[in-house]
A = this chain, B = another copy of it.
Amino acid sequence: MTQKRRKKVSKRSASLFSQSAWQPPQILTTPIEILTPDQIEDIHNRTLSFLQTDGIEVLSNSVQSLLKSLGAEVNSTTNMVKFDSALLIDLISKAPSSFKLHARNPQRSVNIGGNSNVFMTVASAPNASDLAGGRRPGNYEDFKNLTRLSQSLNVVHAFGGYPVEPTDLPANTRHLDCINDLITLSDKAYRLYAIGAQRIRDGLEMTRIAHGLQDSDLDNNVVAFTNININSPLRIDGAMLDGLVAASERNQAVIITPFTLSGAMAPITLAGALLQQNIEALAGIAITQAVRPGSPVVYGCFTSNVDMKSGAPAFGTPEYVRAAYAGGQLARRYKIPYRSSNANASNAVDAQASYESSFSLQGAIMGGANIIQHAVGWLEGGLTASFEKMILDAELLQSFVESQKPIDTSEAEFGIDAMRQVGPGGHFFGTEHTLERFETAFYNPILSDWRNFGAWQDAGAPDALQRASAISNEILSQYQPPPLDDSIAEALNAFIARRKEEGGVLDA
């Protein structure tokens, strides 16, 4: 290696933080198939049969009426809706197999479906934590900093929600401030919360302003998404349904996520939990298509198990991984984009958080997930958004992406001349083949520390948690907001002022 080149390298390593470039998120691996085709058809047929015979609880009069008008059997006393199988299949078949989720910066727009694999932030954690400040209830300052951190990480493609709940903001206007921040502190796509219709409508209006669209353009551009958690077992609640309708009727994306924790909200068996997940997901998907045929919708899988000793949810378990594989197969059975998560149940950013997340991601990525929610920052079963966990997860995600890339076997890559030049017992450091490539040959980690033990000890023996803390702090200290037209900022502020004057969401 020449002196000049050495210098360049050591200069690069002086900064704590470097990362992979933004790249289109892509599934490069053939998904793992843990279910046989017969098993998938068995689950499918049992799903149809259950929704036809038993049905699902739908806690919205207007959705009940809509479904009844299409031929579903509705009992307005029990709120149970039964779907004739032909009706269900017809509705499901209208869902698109992929769509484009637009961000205000077109370069941050992402495809959902096909071989696209979009990584989204942790969402809705009630607490935040970092090494210096420990764990504290979610607040606005942490919300903004976690948003800045997520914006800064190229491997984060979109916001899965508010990274942490800013519980110090009033609930009835919180969405106005938070969406404003997601627009101004970031240029990536984001989720609107489906707690009633009004938050979705306000969010869509703000997003319309941010994108510089006319109101009528919304119907032809997916600019936002929401997530509908099913109140498993077998219940879809009213506020969620109002939000679903408000999103679907404007052709915005809806993720349907059954909350099937096996042993608690679903049968204790994986087959039972997956069947219930499929029943609930198909019912929710059918409702989106009843509201607006062809509107974008995503099949969500959140199936995991609980610890039967304590009742606490567990994540990144073998059951979680197998459910993530199977969920992908079911979603592909219906040609609907698939959502999974990067979950873990650890209380600390330690080896457990690391392996539970690695397993969750393995299930999600090798299961063919098109969206991975909570891909960065989720800790403690989702009760905490962690700054350091964001850094750890960014490393995991970058590594997963890189480790699935094909191997270049073009002639020069083999380096046969270099082998001959080096000869038995030699080394390759100084060969031309090496010098031509050494700066970009290998994946460059965010967090991994490859110093030898002595050098690492001399530096204070920082473990991965301590290093992640330093990296997170460095990123935040260097953060710059992405450009935004003054006119858009002004229009947003005017809208927010008006809506606050009106009292925000009045039923909150």
Interface residues of A (CB under 8 A from B): 9-10, 12-13, 29-30, 32, 34-35, 39, 42-43, 46, 50, 54, 56-57, 80, 135, 231, 233-235, 262-272, 274-276, 305, 307-312, 314, 317-319, 321-322, 326, 345-359, 362-363, 366, 380, 383-384, 392, 395-396, 399, 402-410, 413-416, 418-420, 422-429, 433-434, 437-439, 441-443, 445, 447-453, 456-457, 461, 463-465, 468
Contact = CB atoms under 8 A, between A and B. Distances in A.
Contact of A268 (B425, B441, B453): B441
Given A235-B424, A312-B451, A429 B263 contact: yes
A465 B350 CA distance: 8
Contact of A354 (B264, B326, B355, B461): B355
Given A43-B409, A235-B424, A269-B433, 4 more contacts: A42-B409, A234-B419, A267-B428, A319-B443
B414 A453 contact: no
A275 B355 contact: no
A396 B347 CA distance: 18
A463 B272 contact: no
Nearest to A427: B264
Contact of A443 (B268, B318, B443): B318
Given A275-B414, A429-B264, A448-B345, A308 B442 contact: yes
Number of copies: 2
A428 B269 contact: no
A431 to B, nearest CB: 8
Contacts of A408: 269-271
A395 to B, nearest CB: 7
A424 B352 contact: no
A33 to B, nearest CB: 8
Given A351-B353, A416-B275, A270 B443 contact: no
Contact of A395 (B355, B414, B427): B355
A322 B407 contact: yes
Given A34-B406, A405-B318, A448-B345, A265 B427 contact: yes
B352 A448 contact: yes
Nearest to A317: B443
A410 B43 CA distance: 11
A337 to B, nearest CB: 23
26 contacts: A10-B309, A13-B309, A34-B407, A234-B423, A263-B434, A267-B428, A268-B441, A269-B414, A269-B433, A275-B419, A308-B441, A310-B451, A310-B452, A317-B403, A317-B442, A318-B402, A318-B443, A322-B403, A322-B407, A348-B463, A351-B468, A352-B448, A354-B355, A355-B395, A356-B448, A383-B453
A414 to B, nearest CB: 5
A39 B450 contact: no
